[in-house]
Structure 1
Amino acid sequence: MIRTPRRRREEPLDHAELARLLPAPGDPELSSDRLNGLEEHLMTEIGNLTSDTAPDTSPHTASDTSPGASTGAPPVGAPARNRAPRPARRPVLVGVAAALVLAAAGVAGLAGSSGGSGGSGRAVAPPAGAVPAPVVQVVRGSTAGLAGAVADISGAAARAELPEPGPGQFLYVRSEVSWLVSWEGADGKNRSYVDEIHPREVWMSPDGDKGWLMEPYKEAVDRDGVTLDDPEGGGRTLNSPSYDYLRTLPTDPGLLLKKIYDETGGMGNGPDQQAFSTIGDLLREQVVPPKLAAGLYRAAARIPGVVLVDDSVDAAGRHGLAIARTDEADGARTEWIFDRETYTYLGERTVQTRDAEGIEAGTVRGRTAVTDRAVVDAVKQRPAGLGDAPPSA
């Protein structure tokens, strides 16, 4: 649902990783003339902004105004959308100028600070807000009981009474989320840390052209949130869906699965894993029409490698059974978690099933928990009982 560039969603780029990926500076000390020049450039751009607030419509410049670019957040429910570049806006220039000053003066501090590692660029402490990743016992999955569980889950989904948005209304989804933070210590060894579990709220219009994201835990997201508006509109796909688009999809499991394989061919780590991931993306942060949800669960059960896991835990601490599949490429198993009694969707968990990429088996790479789905009359409006979001600027 959230239109961000596709990348491994459980590994958002943090400041420590950024410092590690940047090339080591040849000389951590800048000359005073260079610093003065950069600062002068920054002040000039600020002056230009205050005197000229009109958009820069030059076709030769573009800025990534997608929420993924703004937030650095994992694409929790964030399928990719291919778009033509948009005209740059003047405020981006200030950010670029500031980045020049910070990159010139700050990277050296990361590499050569008193707590540094002799210019290696590695941080000696995990990013702010990160906590050690939980490690659990990997419960073996099985196809035994899968068909019966999927029948119960799809039946409950088909009977669900979900909100139906009207003209001018917005679909609201609130989740608790946490994702893996990549961090390499001063000794060169990888440590598995995750974000603290934190709230994430999304508002989207039924056609997908207007929306809002609030995830103030992320440093790059203002406390007031960021827009998800798409003034260009454009065609919807499985990787850039809207509620209106979902209503046009077939509900027959066989037809659904064929469409998913056809449309996502060549993406991800193989067709089966990509098909499973695509269905998961549709479920995680959407309000899916009941009959389509039932068809998606039945379609997922036909994907090779899908198993039933007897017990999993979402980000809110709720236990349930899970439909799961392990990515053969990296050993990460994604588990869709359902209530044992009502068979309603609770959330998702990703667990490492084998040692790989510096992550030990049993590490919980990511967790989500959907706590509210509703229809509201405006962006940043919450359902009754949840309080009001900050007013729009």
Structure 2
Amino acid sequence: MNRTPWRRRREPLDHAELTGLLPPPGDPVLSHGRLTTLEEHLMNEIQQAQSQKAAEPQPQPVILFPAPPPARPRRAGRRLALVGAAVAVAVLAGVAGAVQFAGQGTGDVAGPPEGAVPASIVQVAQGTTEGLTRTVDRISGAAAREELPKPRPGQFLYIKSQVSWLERSENVDTGESRTYVQKLHPRQVWMSPDGRKGWLIEPGNGNTSAAGLTLDDDQEEPARPSIGAPSYDYLKTLTTDPDELLKKIYKETEGQGNGPDQQAFTTIGDLVMEQVMPAELASALYRAAAKIPGVVVVDDTTDAVGRHGIAIARTDETSGDRTEWIFDPKTFSYLGERTVQMRDAEGIKAGTVTGHTAITERAVVDAMRELPGGRSRV
């Protein structure tokens, strides 16, 4: 979906003015649908810039365009686990793997997108199936013992994290690209137990202001929660039998992502990454994940804030990136997630960290935008 709910074009396109702003079309000429998409986004950028400050002449202006649909999905389900089905679209524009294209018309690759920095390249430790069962048993046991908050009707789940996601800068004339990531930034989410009301604050992603963005579902007939877009109330209804749970995940995600095994692993990762759920369910999800072919243990990795941990991981056979769920090596509590490229692919070098998260706080609060511990509202 190309539409971004909080960025709407308020005026019709001025095609005559637009013609003077755009560079000559390349060869072959872009399709009508692609041109329309580029025109709409360009006018959005122009209108936003004019509303903030007077236009100043630039020697080599950079024009940002939305990326066309990628050849294969990169983390297409990322960061939807926290919201109900009807409000998932409000977060979709900020999912990992977001790609930005820039063209200067000079043959040079554009600089990093605003707020982005070069992606780090790390020495990647190889994973192993040795000790997988024992490690998952410890993680599952720790999850079952964890005293998670249980929200009442009218309360809100609160999750705070530090996150960074992939962005790319590409010259539309030459196709040359460079890989960047967003600067590490805070993310705060509030969600009602039924998934109908919510709030997101993540200005570092360029998608919300400092005040944030509503995730409320105001439809008369709200979309039903599902395994891919759950609410807390929905999660309470799921079985805690690992085999039955994994069977349900495979069935409901059939045909999605880069194959059934990878999509099952991705779905479980989305569920545990940014969610508060019954402890018994979290325990069952980890045991279910251990049954997915290709899952390994990584002895040492780090989350977004530098905390070292042990990881349960799987490499996407199609894209070549490995997703690591990171756990404290002593308490086996969940810390965060890292995505790292395992082989050169699509211009991304092996060892490039394309996604990083760290959960720093989970709580239940009494009101939207209220902070835990009786702190003032934001």
TM-score (norm 2): 0.73
In 1, distance between residues paired with 2:310 and 2:367?
A: 35
Match of 1:117 in 2: 105
Match of 2:305 in 1: 316
User: SS of 1:312's equivalent?
Assistant: strand
Q: Conserved in 2, the CA contact under 8 Å of 1:81 and 1:239?
A: no
Match of 2:115 in 1: 129
In 2, distance between residues paired with 1:309 and 1:389?
A: 39
In 2, distance between residues paired with 1:343 and 1:82?
A: 30
Match of 1:240 in 2: 229
Match of 1:219 in 2: 206
4+ residue stretches of structure 1 with deviation over 4 A? 73-76, 79-84, 185-188
State the one-letter code of the partner of 2:131. G
RMSD of aligned C-alpha atoms? 2.8
- 1:284-330 Cα distance to aligned partner (Å, 9 max, x none): 11002100000000000000000000111100110000000000001
User: SS of 1:274's equivalent?
Assistant: helix
Task: Give structure 2 stretches of 5+ with no counterpart.
Answer: 3-17, 24-42, 48-74, 90-100
Q: Conserved in 1, the CA contact under 8 Å of 2:109 and 2:178?
A: no
Output aligned runs, 1:113-192, within 5 Å.
116-118=104-106, 124-185=110-171, 188-192=175-179
In 2, distance between residues paired with 1:76 and 1:267?
A: 13
User: SS of 2:140's equivalent?
Assistant: helix
Output aligned runs, 1:248-259, within 5 Å.
248-259=237-248
Match of 1:35 in 2: none
Match of 1:333 in 2: 322
Q: Conserved in 2, the CA contact under 8 Å of 1:202 and 1:211?
A: yes
- 1:255-280 Cα distance to aligned partner (Å, 9 max, x none): 00000001110000000000000001
**What is the Cα deviation at residue 138 of structure 1?**
1.4
In 1, distance between residues paired with 2:315 and 2:22?
A: 48
Match of 1:388 in 2: 376
In 1, distance between residues paired with 2:273 and 2:304?
A: 13
In 2, distance between residues paired with 1:147 and 1:139?
A: 19
Describe the shift of the 1:74–1:223 C-alpha distance in structure 2 as closer, same or farther (beyond 3 A): farther
User: SS of 2:301's equivalent?
Assistant: strand
1:346 counterpart = 2:335? yes
In 2, distance between residues paired with 1:74 and 1:253?
A: 24
State the one-letter code of the partner of 2:163. V
State the one-letter code of the partner of 1:225. G
Q: Conserved in 2, the CA contact under 8 Å of 1:337 and 1:347?
A: yes
In 1, distance between residues paired with 2:113 and 2:283?
A: 40
State the one-letter code of the partner of 1:297. Y
**What is the Cα deviation at residue 174 of structure 1?**
0.3
Match of 1:267 in 2: 256
Q: Which moved more, 1:201-210 or 1:230-239?
A: 230-239
**What is the Cα deviation at residue 82 of structure 1?**
6.6
TM-score (norm 1): 0.71
Match of 2:95 in 1: none
Q: Conserved in 2, the CA contact under 8 Å of 1:337 and 1:348?
A: yes
- 1:137-187 Cα distance to aligned partner (Å, 9 max, x none): 111100001000000000000000011111210000001000111112586
1:28 counterpart = 2:30? no
User: SS of 1:275's equivalent?
Assistant: helix
In 1, distance between residues paired with 2:118 and 2:139?
A: 33
User: SS of 2:372's equivalent?
Assistant: coil
Match of 2:277 in 1: 288
Match of 2:33 in 1: none
Describe the shift of the 1:276–1:74 C-alpha distance in structure 2 as closer, same or farther (beyond 3 A): closer
Q: Paired residues, what number?
A: 299
State the one-letter code of the partner of 1:314. D
Match of 1:379 in 2: 368
- 1:20-60 Cα distance to aligned partner (Å, 9 max, x none): xxxxx864379xxxxxxx9xxx9xxxxxxxxxxxxxxxxxx
**What is the Cα deviation at residue 124 of structure 1?**
2.5
User: SS of 2:373's equivalent?
Assistant: coil
1:78 counterpart = 2:80? yes
Match of 1:229 in 2: 216
Q: Conserved in 1, the CA contact under 8 Å of 2:170 and 2:177?
A: yes
Describe the shift of the 1:224–1:132 C-alpha distance in structure 2 as closer, same or farther (beyond 3 A): same
Q: Conserved in 2, the CA contact under 8 Å of 1:333 and 1:352?
A: yes
Q: Conserved in 1, the CA contact under 8 Å of 2:341 and 2:350?
A: yes
User: SS of 1:208's equivalent?
Assistant: coil
Structure 2 residue aligned with 1:307, among 296, 317, 329? 296
Describe the shift of the 1:29–1:172 C-alpha distance in structure 2 as closer, same or farther (beyond 3 A): closer
State the one-letter code of the partner of 1:28. L
**What is the Cα deviation at residue 249 of structure 1?**
0.2
User: SS of 1:217's equivalent?
Assistant: helix
User: SS of 2:199's equivalent?
Assistant: strand
